[in-house]
Chain A
Amino acid sequence: MQNHVGIERSREAQQAQTVKIRPRWHMTVLHIVYYFIMVAFLVFYMLPFWGTVMTSFKTNSEVMTSTPITPPTEWTLEGYASAMEELGMPLMTSLVVTIFGAAGSVFLGSVCAYALSKWRFKLNNVFFIALVAATYLPFQAILIPLLQTINALNLYDNVWGLVLVHSVFGMPMCTVMMRGYYADVPDALIRQAMIDGNGMWAIYRKIVLPNTMIATITTFVFQCTSIWNEMLFALVLGGYDSKPATIALNELAGTMAAEFNVQMAGSLILALPVLVLYIFMGKYLISGQMSGAVTAS
């Protein structure tokens, strides 16, 4: 019997091989076209990045005399030093706003997601639909009243004003993302924890949170990247003293007389944390966005 199966298998393998040996000519041509297009796109996307990296390591005078894509003849960190002078404080501001803003929105989103996915109450679905709708709200639509509110709270040109705004406006997205994860926590686990003597909050703290750490990390990373890259709130609410790095970078481009090496160095400094996050957390991020998307629908 086993021999039989073995023979069958080797026959199949042979057939597979014959297919490989005789490729059809139009398939080959098609492959060449595919690869050509893919390489063209790759070059198109990578060339500016390559140019940015090369320029950032050049001296200002070499920038003037060479094309952006040629490697520097003399490697220097001059550009980075000048960029850091301008970006130092704004980077700190960005860091604080990002960490606290992301933490705030993840916390609020997590609590909302828990309540919406695991507890039945009146208008449960209405709340959820309202939250989903809120994620589609264009921020410029509410910019003026928001500015007035922040002014009235005396939080204009204040790091904590930005933290507050990001916490609140990030919350709907966090809720939608985390609700998908929490829905996967079996209801029996919640009931069991109730019977074991725990109330709603204790269950959240002891059962739901520890079993959905990946959801929390994913959502946190997602929020971090979007707050770090954010410019609109930063521009309108950041003022002068607490402007985040995105604004400072923009000013770097505008005020300096075409010091491209400094601008490119600044861009890379700003991009670095997000790149690092994506490299280490990309796996979680992709699965997280997928799960949120599927379960929310």
Chain B
Amino acid sequence: MAAITIKDMSVSYNKGKSYVLDKLNLTVQDGEFCVFLGPSGCGKSTAMHCVAGLLEPVDGTIHFGEELMTEVSGGKKKNFVPPQERNIAMVFQEYALYPNMTVRKNMSFALETKKAPKEEINKRVDTMAKMLSIDHLLDRRPAELSGGQRQRVALGRALVRDPQVFLLDEPLGNLDAKLRDQVRYELKKIQTQLGITTIYVTHDQTEAMTMADHIVLMKDGHIMQEGTPNELYNHPNCEFVAGFLGTPQINLFTVRVTEVNGALVLNADSFSLPVPVELVACLKPYAGKDVHLGIRPSDLLITEDGLIPAAVESIEPLGDAHLVYVRIGEQVVVVKHAEEEAPAAKSLKLSPNPAKLHLFDPSTEKRINP
């Protein structure tokens, strides 16, 4: 087991004309479950393939613990440990089970390649198979398994090796929703149990939020923000991060910061909100200018004395809560109403949780409040 350190890593497929990854710097702590999250084409899989050694960057270094795995500078390879010598395990989205081998053989293949003793291999395969409840499938071939079973075999095959780094490339992408929840839970449980440093690539923010110790949110080859799921959710450093995490999406308003009788107010066409005391200092420089105000659907409360008038457009029941789509001025926003009863009135008054306002600079899209 080892920490993974990536320094100034750049990847280009066209000799430096454009970069898929641009000077990536990242540390994944020993034993951590790290999720690379981002929209498709953001470079998250590329970054993982570099860690695996399946791709060579044009610049940068990768260390596993103290061990140097990749060192390239200006397109010249100085050090490169091939994937087969990195002691990593990887699960691909398409599972990549060997069709000519039984489940047992699939799981023991890597250990046999390493020439581990036979009893040891059998013992490990049996233990892992039991852990993943695939012990009754050991003599079958991949073609005879269902999607979920193949998924487990792929996981088992990776875990049985006791790798120093565990890489998962959208491993739940091909499963149906119910199975996905179940495997997600098991995967996290096993990872915690074994304490293997793990990188998990996904574009699904729910997977990231539920499993990660550490989320790396990427866009266009850059890291937009990294941190714990809570940090990213509660303190997004830019509009992109705020919008990417959380379902339904965060509501964004354009408001003008105005000074009325010495106090700051956020003014929109159809409402105005007093600026909470703790935000006054950071909003002072924006007096007279527009800012973007982000409020998550669950932070908009329906109250009697709310300052934002809203007209109900439609209501989606979730069972324990309701998603209320309301019109505020010209804009339709979502309110997550955490009550079993849907609001009866057609026009509502909303008040945002003042501790959970997210303010962004409209030109840089960066966060304004601390």
Contacts and interface: CB of A to CB of B under 8 A. Distances in A.
A, B co-complexed = yes
Contacts of B347: none
A189 B54 contact: no
A297 B68 CA distance: 43
Given A210-B100, A211-B99, A211-B100, A196 B113 contact: yes
B359 interface: no
A202 B52 CA distance: 19
A192 B96 contact: yes
B286 interface: no
Scoring A196, A210, A211 by chain B CB atoms within 10 A of each residue's CB, the highest score goes to: A196
B84 A186 contact: no
B348 interface: no
A273 interface: no
Interface in A204-241: 206-207, 210-211
Interface in B77-115: 82-86, 88-90, 92, 94-96, 98-100, 109-110, 113-114
A9 interface: no
B109 A188 contact: no
The interface size bin for chain B is 20 to 34
A188 B94 contact: yes
A6 to B, nearest CB: 33
Contacts of B110: 195-197
A97 to B, nearest CB: 32
A15 B216 CA distance: 64
Scoring B82, B86, B89, B98 by chain A CB atoms within 10 A of each residue's CB, the highest score goes to: B98
A195 B98 contact: no
A129 interface: no
Contact of B92 (A188, A198, A202): A188
A194 interface: yes
Contacts of A199: 82, 84
A197 B88 CA distance: 9
A195 B89 contact: yes
A191 interface: yes
A188 B94 CA distance: 7
B84 A188 contact: no
A4 B61 CA distance: 68
A281 B188 CA distance: 51
A197 B113 contact: yes
Contact of B83 (A194, A210, A211): A194
Given A194-B54, A195-B89, A189 B98 contact: yes
Contact of B98 (A194, A197, A202, A207): A207
A199 B114 CA distance: 12
A191 B94 contact: no
Interface of B is mostly: loop
B132 to A, nearest CB: 18
A194 B84 CA distance: 5
A133 to B, nearest CB: 29
Given A189-B96, A207-B98, A211-B100, A198 B88 contact: no
B113 A198 contact: yes
A226 B35 CA distance: 56
Contacts of B85: 197
A195 B99 contact: no
Interface string B112-128: 01100000000000000
A284 to B, nearest CB: 18
A290 B94 CA distance: 27
A195 B90 contact: yes
A191 B83 CA distance: 9
Contact of A202 (B54, B86, B113, B161): B113
B96 A191 contact: yes
Nearest to A210: B100
A194 B96 CA distance: 12
Given A196-B84, A198-B113, A186 B90 contact: no
Contacts of A194: 54, 82-84
Interface in B120-178: 161
B84 A191 contact: no
A191 B55 CA distance: 11
Contacts of A202: 113
B90 A192 contact: yes
A198 B94 CA distance: 20
Contacts of A189: 96, 98
A198 B85 CA distance: 9
Given A186-B94, A188-B92, A202-B113, A195 B84 contact: yes
Interface in A153-196: 186, 188-189, 191-196
A192 B84 contact: no
Given A189-B98, A197-B113, 13 more contacts: A186-B94, A186-B96, A188-B95, A191-B83, A191-B96, A192-B90, A194-B83, A194-B84, A195-B88, A195-B90, A197-B84, A197-B85, A199-B82
7 contacts: A191-B83, A192-B90, A195-B86, A196-B109, A198-B84, A207-B100, A211-B99
Interface of A: 186, 188-189, 191-199, 202, 206-207, 210-211
Interface of B: 52, 54, 82-86, 88-90, 92, 94-96, 98-100, 109-110, 113-114, 161
- A-B residue pairs, 6 tightest by C-beta: A196-B110, A188-B96, A192-B96, A197-B113, A210-B100, A197-B84
